[in-house]
Amino acid sequence: MKGIFTALMCAFDEQGNIHEKGLRQLVRHNIDVSKVDGLYVNGSTGENFLISTEDKKRIFEIVKDEAGDQVKLIAQVGALNIDEAVELAKYATDLGYDSLSAVTPFYYKFDFEEVKDYYNTIINSVDNTMIIYSIPALTGVNMSLEQFGELFENEKIIGVKFTAPDFYLLERLRHAYPEKLIYSGFDEMLLSAAVLNVDGAIGSTFNVNGARARSIFELAQEGKIEEAREIQKVTNDLISGILANGLYQTIKEMLKTQGVEAGVCRKPMKQLSADNVKVAQDLAATFLTK
């Protein structure tokens, strides 16, 4: 369960329906071209919080059918409706997903005991493991070292997707819990996390930049920091261009230049203008090779 995991996108048609052919192409591109170690399915990058429970199940099913056992699969099942989260956890487990993940419950200001009960309720309902998805900038949920430790007391909670710029907390987590899996969640900070000996990374831009992510991670492990820094610089040039143009929409347009029918984003996300599409194509021409 270590290495580079793509936070998988989902292809949708103009009506917002799952574009199955495109989704299968996304899976194949990440496995065959980017050669990632695994896929993180139905996370933020997959527009998870914009789709129905049945669509989430269908995505889990298609990805598992296409990927088989070629790479490790992590199913993000977190939801404000805990009954939905448990239902999805059971569904993904039955499909054979290698682990589950769940974003911390958000919107309402849950206290830590409520957060802890949420995770234990989900993972104790299935015969599987759980990776916490911590992204405080979007959820407003900040957890301390001691609180992570309380969650880790459940042996089925095996790690965390750490999407935060708090490298002090990251180092403390790594030191305190060497047996737990820690994944970096900020693509633009991969090198900084890698030198702290994280176990891998889960990223949106790996859909188009997986090979560079692997190079950064492996070079850092080998102590070749200057070489890794140069690749991180190129990566961040790419990320800056993507963020300025529209994150998910731009990645999808870049994938189209690689022959992947990545579709469009679901509303209320807007579609790119003709000028923005051109920017995405130029980014692909500059940073990607077929």
The residues carrying an active-site annotation are: 133, 161
Residue 149, marked binder: no
Helix, strand, coil content of the chain in percent (nearest 5): 50, 15, 35
Residue 45, marked binder: yes
Residue 187, marked binder: yes
Residue 204, marked binder: yes
Task: Report yes or no: 115 and 143 within 8 Å, Cβ to Cβ.
Answer: yes
* Selection from 247, 264, 253 nearest residue 288 by Cα: 253
Residue 93, marked binder: no
Torsions phi, psi for 288 (to 5 deg): -115, 155
Q: What number of CA atoms fall less than 13 Å from residue 163's CA on the CB side?
A: 24
Report how far Cα 202 is from the mean position of its chain's Cα atoms: 5
Kindly report the number of other CB atoms within 10 A of residue 168's CB atom: 8
Q: Encode 45-83: b = buried (16+ Cβ within 10 Å), e = exposed.
A: bbbbebbeeebbbbbbebbbebbeeebbbbbbbbbeebe
Q: What does the block give as tokens for 60? A: 């889990």
Residue 184, marked binder: no
CA atoms of 156 and 89, how far apart (whole Å) = 13
CA atoms of 29 and 213, how far apart (whole Å) = 15
Measure CA of the first residue to CA of the last residue in the chain; give whole Å: 28
Q: What does the block give as tokens for 192? A: 């900084």
Task: Report yes or no: 39 and 74 within 8 Å, Cβ to Cβ.
Answer: yes
CA atoms of 85 and 88, how far apart (whole Å) = 5
Residue 253, marked binder: no
Binding site, annotated residues for aceneuramate: 44-45, 163, 185, 187-188, 204
Binding site, annotated residues: 44-45, 163, 185, 187-188, 204
